[in-house]
Structure 1
Amino acid sequence: MKRILLLLAIVGMTALQGCSNDDDRVDNDTVGLVFDINKSFNAQGEIIFPFNAGEVFSGDVVLIYWMESTTTNGNPVWRLIPQNIYFPNNEYPSISGYLTYNYDFTTTEAKIWTETDINLASIPNYSVGQFFRVIVVPGQNPIFARSAGSKGKTVTQTVDYKDYEAVVKAYGIKEENIVTRK
């Protein structure tokens, strides 16, 4: 009888070790999807691209960053759109007007579009071969962090979505995992 109880105790302990409750864990690397697109705006001043089934759900947040330039080291400078560009500027001193990149999205596609009073063909540096980074942040899944002043309680950490580097850090995005879609 003692052997049977010992055997049941060992089996029970082994089975319980496989179960865990990680509901209280801090999750600092949750992001649904990250990819780049490199496209030119069409004649209507739009870039439309689909999401694959199951990539974006109702309640998710889609962030789109435009690669404005690169640093002297070749690192990209990302700007959350909408972005406004005013002319004349250093690249086009003879053109006067404005260009705004904006976007919207559904669970099946996203559209980046331009609002401008300038012929897009006259500003190819802003309309041809543009790089955008798309980040899908799952809804109902905020980033949490423990702060020293919270006495061990979990508090919501706010992320400045305009600061690309802050988003990358908060969501644990690794550059080597980002692919370019056509």
Structure 2
Amino acid sequence: MKKIIPFLFVAVFGLISFSCVSDDDNQEYIDYDTYPVAIDVNNVNFEEINGVWQIARTFNTPIYDTDMLLAYMRVGTTNNNSPIWQQIPITQYLSDGNEVDYNFDFSRYDFVLYAGGTFDLFGTEFVNNKTFRILIVPADYGKNATVDYSNYDSVVEFYNIDDSNPTSM
């Protein structure tokens, strides 16, 4: 009987362990430390710093390592005056053969928006009075999210972001 007790203990422990594992393979990882937010950077001018056109902002509170930042530039409005957002990075091809590029990078503490071109951008509409929308969303571990990140409205819907009153920076 004494030899059977350790085997029963292992069997009961194994049964309890397996009963706690979800067998739903379609269950996605949910990042509970981030609440998706929208941030506006309104009507700003890029600054030329050491030959690089940029807009830098620092977060009041660092974001989590598991967060990602998506950047969109306002490129126009619809007939009912709703903004049209285009995901960055963007390359705009001009009719004269020149190009303007917009890009960004971010860390837990800040983000920087960049502009560059095949011509001098100083004093042009490409670096003055620009509006951007920044979305901070939880990164999805292990599985591809079923959202088109290039489509602003899809991202807002997927992450249930209230973008009616974004924070300004």
Quick one: which of 16, 39, 61 aligns to 1:53?
A: 61
In structure 2, distance between residues paired with 1:33 and 1:141: 19
Q: Distance in 2 between matches of 1:157 and 1:81?
A: 19
1:59 Cα deviation after fit: 2.7
**Aligned partner letter, 1:36:** D
Q: Does 1:62 align with 2:73?
A: no
Q: Which runs of 5+ in 1 are unaligned?
A: 1-23, 89-94, 143-154
Equivalent residue, structure 1, for 2:135: 135
TM-score by length of 1: 0.66
Q: Where does residue 83 of structure 1 map in the other structure?
A: 90
Partners of 1:72 and 1:32 lie apart in 2 by 28
Could you tell me how far apart the structure 2 residues matched to 1:156 and 1:79 are?
21
Percent identical residues: 27
What stretches of structure 2 of length at least 5 have no aligned partner?
Answer: 1-26
- The within-5 A match list for 1:23-172 is 31-38=35-42, 39-43=44-48, 44-54=52-62, 56-88=63-95, 95-124=96-125, 126-140=126-140, 157-172=145-160
Distance in 2 (alpha carbons) for counterparts of 1:59 and 1:157: 14
| Distance of 2:47 and 2:156 partners within structure 1 | 30
CA apart distance, 1:51: 1.1
For 1:101 and 1:108, the matched residues in 2 are separated by 21
The amino acid that maps onto 2:36 is: G
- Residues 84 and 175 (structure 1 numbering): CA distance in 2 closer, same or farther, change over 3 Å? same
- Could you tell me which amino acid in structure 2 is paired with residue 138 of structure 1? P
TM value normalised by structure 2: 0.71
| CA apart distance, 1:32 | 3.1
> Bigger CA drift: 101-110 or 111-120?
111-120
Please identify which structure carries the higher helix content: 1
- Give the CA deviation at 1:164: 0.5
SS in 2 for 1:169: helix
For residues 91 and 140 of structure 2, what CA distance do their matches in structure 1 show? 30
Instruction: Check whether the contact 2:38–2:162 (CA below 8 A) recurs between aligned residues.
Output: no
